[in-house]
Structure 1
Amino acid sequence: MARALDVLGDRWTLLVIRELLLGPKRFKDLLAILPAMGTNRLSERLAMLVESNVVQPTTLPAPAAAPAYELTELGEQLRKPVIALGLWGLRLPVDERIDPSSARAELIALCLAGSSDPASSAGFQALYEFHVGAEVFHVPVRDGKVLVRSGPSAESADVKIQCDMETFMALALRQITPARALREGRATLLQGSRQAFTQVFKVLEYRP
């Protein structure tokens, strides 16, 4: 545990790993998401994580074809512990220093995917793309494995849905059904069927 904390104990380190759980990121993308971290600290943390075989340099696919960072196989093993920390943090007293408007739909989806029951998507394959306010992310579901990735999908999605953050939160917390969100105009189906849209929130189910 002491050795693990040597690598992961700094607050910023876990936040960098959290972002890489959403897929490869360029240095400038990480800095844009974590601006308070600063260029020097981000460079130091990435170098340390690369040296510890948690993160590795990579190149984004065309058309970006830009240098980036991604988790190694060892780093990917942090998915469950990091998501568990996030879910555990929900039980802590409210911290007034945290701005609720800083919430991101893709991070909420990341936690939902991490707590998803593999049986709910066993034998099921689909690709969902969400447009939540200015955010775009996609959710590939592959026979019990559910991931969340930043940005639009490179492949054609089975379902594309557009909504605001308030509606996405309501859907995630089961305060509104997908059918009702569509009926009331709170969500718009850009591609795919209503039935397929309903299915995604059976997979992305919060399990405390």
Structure 2
Amino acid sequence: MAGMRSYNDGCGIAHALDVAGERWALLVVRELLFGPKRFADLRVGLPGVSANILAQRLRELEQARVLVRRTLAPPAGSRVYELTEWGRELEPVLVQLGKWGLRSAELPRDAPISVDAVMLSLRARFDARAAEGVAGVYELRFGADRFRAVVADGRFELSRGVAENPVAVIESGPRELDLVVSGDKPMSALTDSGEMTVHGDKRAAERFTALFTLD
């Protein structure tokens, strides 16, 4: 981590901040938690960061062994960034940090939010008690991006990809889904306006979005 500022403190928290405490660094990790991405994809998820700063953060995180660069097999052949096993260990940290931030009265609810940020917020918001007795597979669609969500036995699993035989498919932008799960807008208002589309069991979709409350 040559050239990076350091707290020069033997505390593990201080060292963690040395590694991933620079501005945008943890948001880069957030954008990679659901799988590898190209540089251009990271720019989409982080519209507020310049290309130069993003490239610098990626170099620093690679040097710190938080992520690696690799080239996808043909025919794609694209260069992507991917978290290492050690980098993926930051997920519960980010979930708890997100839960803490969501409780803030100053949260900028009208600011841009990425698909991956909303997906991670679902993990932060999931209420296992509310999910007792709920079971189903759901698909969340954001343009060409797909996520498979599974609720069973009070547990919640979420991964990037197509769901097989989902009970309901929810299609919207990331902000629209965030408005529904946060309770700021009812699903019916967004489906009536055309900002959200639900395929399949609409009641199941409503039950699903009601599972994400801050305990």
TM-score, length of structure 1 as denominator length: 0.72
**Which residue does the alignment assign to 1:37?**
49
Structure with a larger share of its residues in helix? 1
Aligned to 2:202: 194
Deviation, 1:32, is: 3.5
8 A contact 1:57–1:70 mirrored in 2: yes
- Tell me the equivalent position of 2:169: 160
Q: In the TM superposition, what is the alpha-carbon distance from 1:182 to its structure 2 partner?
A: 8.0
* 2:137 pairs with 1:130: no
Unpaired stretches in structure 1, ≥5 consecutive residues: none
Equivalents in 2 of 1:39, 1:114: separation in Å?
Answer: 29
Residue 135 of structure 1 and its aligned partner are, at CA, apart by 7.9
Question: C-alpha separation between the residues in 2 aligned to 1:137 and 1:92?
Answer: 29
Once the two structures are TM-superposed, the CA of residue 60 in structure 1 deviates from its matched residue by 5.3
CA distance in 2, matches of 1:44, 1:121: 45
Partner of 2:125: 115
Distance verdict in 2 for CA 1:68–1:166, change over 3 Å: closer
Opposite residue 209 of structure 2, the aligned amino acid is F
Identity among equivalent positions (%) equals 30
Per-residue CA distance 1:104-137 (angstroms, 9 max, x = gap): 4552332122332456379956241234xx6844
Report the TM-score, using the length of structure 2 for normalisation: 0.70
- How many residue pairs get aligned? The number is 198
| Contact kept? 2:135, 2:151, Cα under 8 Å | yes
CA displacement at 1:53 relative to structure 2: 2.4
For residue 84 of structure 2, the aligned residue among 69, 72, 77 is 72
- RMSD over aligned CA atoms reads 3.6
**Contact residue 113 and residue 175 of structure 2 kept, 8 A:** no
1:81 Cα deviation after fit:
1.4
**Unaligned 5+ residue runs, structure 2?**
1-12
User: Shift of the alpha carbon at 1:90?
Assistant: 3.4
Q: Aligned partners of 2:41, 2:52: CA distance in 1, in Å?
A: 15
Once residues 87 and 75 of structure 2 are traced to their aligned partners in structure 1, the CA distance between those partners, rounded to angstroms, is 26
